[in-house]
Amino acid sequence: MPTPQEIIAAAVKELHPRLLKPQGFRKNGKTWIRPGDWTSVIQIQLSAWNDSDEAKFTINVGIHLPGYKEFTGTLKPHHCWPTQARLGKFMDPPGDKWWSVTRETDPAALTDELARLLSTYALPWFESYESIAAGCGKLRTRVPEQVAAHLKSAG
C-alpha cells in the first residue's frame, strides 16, 4: 500500500500531462510555471508535520510581475506578491484549504479532485490577468500606490 507521500507524488505526476502541460505549464518538482508576460505559478506545499500515517498539503498560486520582485533559483508563489493566494481562497466557502492524505486515500480520486479545482478556480484566475491592462486594473484595486505606479510605468 502506498504511503501518503507517494499518493501525493502520484497525483502531482499525473496532473502535469493531464491538465497543466496542455495549458503551457512546465513542471519542476511540485511547482508548475507557465511563462508569459505575467508568469503563472502553481505549487503544492507539503505540511512540515507530515508523517508516515498522514500527509497534508495545500496549493499555492501566483502570478509573477516581471521587474517588480526579482528572485534567484526556482520561481515560487511567494515571489509573486501581491498576486499570490492559496487555492482555497477561491473555493466556496473560501478558506485556507489543506488536503489530508492517508494510506486509504484513492490516488485517482485525489487527482480528479485537484484537476477539477485547478480547472475551476486557478486557471480562470490566471486568465483574468491575461493582459497587462487587465492585470493592472485588477491590481490597482488591491495593492499600494507604489505598485500601481510601477506597473503603469512598466506597461
Predicted TM-score (pTM) of the model is 0.79
pLDDT per residue as tens digits for the range 126-136: 888 765 556 55
CB-CB contact of 116 with 92 (8 Å): no
Q: How far apart are CA 141 and CA 19, in angstroms?
A: 31
Summary mean pLDDT of the chain: 82
Say what the pLDDT of residue 133 is. 53
CA neighbor of 83 nearest in space, from 25, 150, 147, 153? 147
Q: Report the domain count for the chain.
A: 1
Q: What are 142's three cell numbers?
A: 488591491
Say what the pLDDT of residue 4 is. 97
Which domain range does residue 92 map to? 4-154
pLDDT per residue as tens digits for the range 69-114: 555 455 555 555 556 788 999 999 999 999 999 999 999 999 999 9
Q: Which residue has the higher pLDDT, 3 or 35?
A: 3
Q: What are 11's three cell numbers?
A: 497525483
Beta strands (DSSP E) in 8-83 are 26-28, 31-34, 39-46, 54-64
